[in-house]
Structure 1
Amino acid sequence: MNTTDSATVESLRPVWRGVLAASYQALERTVAGVRDGQEDNVTPCSQWSVTQVIQHAAGDQLAYAMKLGVGNGPAYDPFAPSGTVDGTAAGLVKEAVEQTAAAWATVSDDTATVPTPLPHGDLPTPVAAVMCALDAAVHAWDIAVATGQPSPLDDELAGHLLAAARGIVEPLRQWGAYAAVVEADGAPSATPVVDELLRYLGREPR
């Protein structure tokens, strides 16, 4: 199921590689900022600890890489993370991001569609890439909130992520990938687009 319109696809076409890079950087930096003793902190993904969100985020990236023809995918179910990491969480994420970045590097700019691990299947390349980025960026935010770090999102990045999300996320809610939209509370914010994205993904910005 692809509900993304052509205008959205074209708006994301010149930026998708940069959006991916920024989102990967956000995830890696945030995971690197987790301090000893914070691994079991509760996150906005209320059923998961910090370590479980990290495992989930890494697993999702490996699933995208596999769909693009690189690697064998995660060795565990990203939707049932154990909370125990072999090695370091930073190492797990670094390996996943490097593999997925390598996979996207094989995709040429004129590739019309690519396969994804989403129920939608194949999606227009810019949308698929930004949805992959969205997964990394929003979980970076989850981890940052849980560990007292600054938000890794800004309005420019959030605007691109929101453009892709509006066409794709809605049917994913029935599988529990995202919660229901959170209504705005009217409080002013220095990052209104970030707040809009987070609320759309079922998160309370503050």
Structure 2
Amino acid sequence: MNTTDTATVTALQPVWREVLAASYRALENSVAGVRDDEGDKVTPCSEWTVTQVIQHAAGDQLAYAKVLGIGDGPAYDPFSPSGAVDGSSVALVKDAVGQAAAAWATVPDDSETVPTPLPHGDLPTPVAAVMCALDAAVHAWDVAIATGQPSPLDNELAGHLLAAARGTVEPLRQWGAYAPVVEAADSPSSTPVVDELLRYLGRVPR
């Protein structure tokens, strides 16, 4: 599926703001559920701890906010998180999500394309927004699973995220942003949408 696929853009157009809001809630709630002694736990992003995933997720949202005209972007490389937060992880994510949400609020409903921090550059607005949401939601899942919390994803949200992911994720795998697809033992027709999304993003459903 191409990122400019008309059917995908049309399907995501009426829901992208709700998808963003749901994904931001998922990220903030998952981070709020992390105990003080859980920051060094291993996550589904096997090379990163819980704190590093949180730093990465916050940095990505700050990067989206910057290209949309809000804030200065992350003060660190989101792909080399230190594992040490100055202050609290909750405050870090709250600030990042606040800036990103404010940035998306400036985007008119009839805007056809917007810039992104992705290698793709400008993307159709609904696709760009849902890719931003995808980043928040999948890392919310990483944090939740690593710390024994319930999954923040449901099949409705996952379906919207998967629609955008299928057109944009492949080029990102070469930079290590996503692991290879994890093949399912069951047929696609019997796989829950959440599991299908996670496998597509290189994660093993838990």
C-alpha RMSD of matched pairs (Å): 1.6
Shift of the 148–129 alpha-carbon distance from structure 1 to 2, 3 Å rule, reads same
Deviation at 1:36, TM superposition (A): 2.0
Aligned to 2:182: 182
Aligned to 2:110: 110
Relative to the length of structure 1, the TM-score reads: 0.97
Q: Give, in whole Å, the separation in 2 of the partners of 1:4 and 1:173.
A: 19
Deviation at 1:185, TM superposition (A): 2.2
Give the partner amino acid of 1:160: H
Aligned to 2:58: 58
Aligned to 1:122: 122
Shift of the 113–155 alpha-carbon distance from structure 1 to 2, 3 Å rule, reads same
Aligned to 2:77: 77
- Is residue 91 of structure 1 aligned with residue 91 of structure 2? yes
Q: Give, in whole Å, the separation in 1 of the partners of 2:38 and 2:89.
A: 12
Aligned to 1:156: 156
Shift of the 191–78 alpha-carbon distance from structure 1 to 2, 3 Å rule, reads same
Shift of the 198–162 alpha-carbon distance from structure 1 to 2, 3 Å rule, reads same
Match of 1:177, SS state, is: coil
Give the partner amino acid of 2:115: P
Q: How does 1:8-47 map to 2 (within 5 A)?
A: 8-47=8-47
Give the partner amino acid of 2:201: L
Deviation digits for residues 61-85 of structure 1 (CA, Å, limit 9, x no counterpart) = 0000000010000000000000000
Q: Give, in whole Å, the separation in 2 of the partners of 1:105 and 1:58.
A: 18
Equivalent residues of 1:155, 1:191 under 8 A apart: no
List alignment gaps of at least 5 residues for structure 1: none
Relative to the length of structure 2, the TM-score reads: 0.97
Aligned to 1:145: 145
Moved runs in structure 1, 4+ residues, more than 4 A? none
Give the partner amino acid of 1:29: N
Q: Give, in whole Å, the separation in 1 of the partners of 2:53 and 2:79.
A: 9
Deviation at 1:191, TM superposition (A): 7.4
Equivalent residues of 1:51, 1:83 under 8 A apart: yes
Q: Give, in whole Å, the separation in 2 of the partners of 1:3 and 1:108.
A: 20
Deviation digits for residues 90-145 of structure 1 (CA, Å, limit 9, x no counterpart) = 00000000000000000000001000000000000000000000000000000011
Deviation at 1:3, TM superposition (A): 3.4
